[in-house]
Chains A and B, each alone.
Chain A
Amino acid sequence: MKVKAQIMSKADMFRTLKRLAHEIIEQSNGAKNLVILGIQRRGVPIGRILKEEIDSSENTNVPFGILDITLYRDDLSTIGNAPMVNATDIPFNLNGKDVILVDDVLYTGRTIRAALDEIMDFGRPASIQVAVLIDRGHRELPIMGNYIGRKIPTAGNEIIEVKLKEVDKKYGVFIIVRDEKPSSAKPASKPARKKGKTQARKKTSKLASKKGKTPSRTKTKKLVSKKAKNPAKSKAKKSVKKPVRTKAKKTAKQSVKTKAKQSVKTRTKKSGKKKKK
């Protein structure tokens, strides 16, 4: 694993989140019926930042809850060991509310799918919208982000790492390139994400490395070299005024562009699904 580039500084992150908060207020009629749910783990501090920005701007107190989607994951019956469960805490009623679901990176869309299912078990909100700091593409489900901080096209072997003080002791957004060595091939990154805590499950890393299989690596390599010439240009500038509509268009465009590549990728990296960074 090596850091390819830092895409956002702390100041960039807060500026972007401020913009997102105001987009949310604009679209939600002054935040009157809003509730915010942060997805464990990095969606929680990001959600709090959005809440504080909305609160101070609108002089209100938006209810804030925490959602852990582990028990709703769609890969529980395909991965070797059960992943760590974190706390869910939604101390208010969701019925009839406009829910803003917050996460750090939007990737395959599987996390959001799980979150939608879990929210439905808590009640029947009037609407659910998704706010993320980074959209890195590669969707595997028909899911979109409504409020997107920055769109960053990535290659399959790249990871977006969002660092937040509450979890990582510092702020910043980085592009990380995965090693080509078999030992740390794709699936291994999952346990790594949950540092420390999963160590008790000894078999995890061993099993995970077995899953990283060779053919997928050669294919993703090609993709990298294509994309590397055209590194992470930010499309954020375009997306300020009318977030919802422009986003949708762009997503469609992008999905056409990358459709062929994606189909190769999804076939070759089944085990790595749902990995975000």
Chain B
Amino acid sequence: MTVKAKAVRHLITMDDLTNDEIIMILEEAKSFKEVLGRDIKKVPALRGKTVVLLFFEASTRTKISFELAAKRLSADVVNFSASTSSLKKSESLKDTVRTLEAMAADVFVMRHSYPGSAQLVAKYIKGAVLNGGDGAHSHPTQALLDMYTIYEKKGGFKGLKVAIIGDIKHSRVVRSNIEGLTRLGAEVVLCGPSTLLPRYIEKFNVSVTYNVEEAITDADVVMGLRIQFERQKQGLLPTILEYAQFFQINRERLSLAKPDVLLMHPGPINRGVEIESEVADSVYSVIDEQVTNGVAVRMSLLYFLVGGKDE
């Protein structure tokens, strides 16, 4: 008898998950975090599945995090590196992914510098596509792990004030976080220099301020964003030092937040630029925990999207 396979689910933006599904993924991530604490950190849930990591852009934590997550679920992992591939022989993106699919991969985790690239790839292949960051568009798994870190510490999202400070314009993390957090009832405040705040961002159901003290006051969560030097060639900031003077999250400013504030950062950190080094290592900081949680959340997500039978 044939078992009807479930429809393939992609994760391109947070829109691909319902609120209930987000909560379920976060709830189950607790169990996967427990697996990571065992002596044998491996469960057989995704045996026989193949996960391809397609990274066209540099990455440390997302790539390793996904690789560990897949391996700890007993999936096979194939690493694709753009610089040594046939892309160098001018093979198109479409042909590249179809070649990989022809080798029977089930899941494609993809990072690319063009917004919408994951969406495009999803159109051409039968496997599930997980967006690991596409340009400044979206980075849903980072949002999920940020949300898990908040969920674990605060127990929920309703009524929390989340201040996100830094380079909003170039951040894909912030777009996915805004979507997830506001949908689950958190209040999001964005703060940064006007040149790094995109126009019309307040349409996303968030408030915007140029005053970092105002953003941090009474916040439950303060999230710093990296100043993306590689995207700073247009002269959006006069100097890094000036940015640090007006927008750096330092001890004095953080003291305006609630006493049990969580300090988060998606990494990599520029110490002394968007976050004072001392604060990044303080008791409020959950930056290292975010990385640990990333593996658990990605396990939960992989299990949710590709656990069960596929075609």
Contacts and interface: CB of A to CB of B under 8 A. Distances in A.
Contacts of A81: 6, 307-308
Contacts of A71: 35, 43-45, 73, 303
B20 A121 contact: no
A122 B31 contact: no
Nearest to A81: B308
A207 B6 contact: yes
B32 to A, nearest CB: 7
B4 interface: yes
Contacts of A197: 24
B283 interface: no
A203 B7 contact: yes
A80 B6 contact: yes
A72 B31 contact: no
Interface residues on A, range: 20 to 34
B309 A123 contact: no
A201 B18 CA distance: 10
B230 interface: no
Contacts of B44: 71-72, 117
A85 B309 contact: no
Contact of A87 (B7, B24, B34, B308): B34
A85 B303 contact: yes
B30 interface: yes
B48 interface: yes
B100 to A, nearest CB: 21
A97 B66 CA distance: 35
Contacts of A207: 4, 6
Interface string A163-195: 000000000000000000000000000000000
Given A121-B38, A270-B1, A85 B6 contact: no
B278 interface: no
Given A88-B34, A200-B21, A207-B4, A80 B40 contact: no
B307 A76 contact: yes
Interface in B1-50: 1, 3-7, 18, 20-21, 23-24, 28, 30-32, 34-35, 38-40, 42-45, 47-48
28 contacts: A72-B43, A72-B44, A72-B45, A76-B45, A77-B47, A78-B3, A79-B3, A80-B3, A80-B5, A80-B308, A84-B24, A84-B28, A85-B32, A87-B30, A87-B34, A88-B31, A88-B35, A89-B34, A117-B44, A122-B38, A197-B24, A199-B20, A200-B18, A201-B24, A211-B3, A213-B1, A271-B1, A271-B3
- Counting from the closest, the 10 A-B pairs by CB-CB distance are A82-B307, A200-B20, A71-B43, A71-B45, A121-B40, A85-B31, A82-B308, A85-B28, A80-B6, A81-B308
